[in-house]
């Protein structure tokens, strides 16, 4: 398995979670 693909997927999920948190919680 290519590790680059795993990191790409993890980064995509991470960015999605951060975006949801940013939308739900105001950034000071």
Average pLDDT over residues 2-7: 88
Structure tokens at 12: 């995509």
DSSP H helical ranges for 1-28: 3-24
Q: How many angstroms separate the CA atoms of 12 and 20, rounded? A: 12
For residue 5, is pLDDT > 80? yes
What is the DSSP code (8-state) at residue 28? Answer: -
Please give the model's pTM, rounded to 2 decimal places.
0.47
Average pLDDT over residues 5-10: 92
């Amino acid at each position: 398995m290519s590790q680059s693909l795993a990191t790409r997927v993890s980064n995509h999920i991470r960015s999605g979670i951060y975006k949801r948190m940013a939308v739900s919680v105001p950034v000071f």
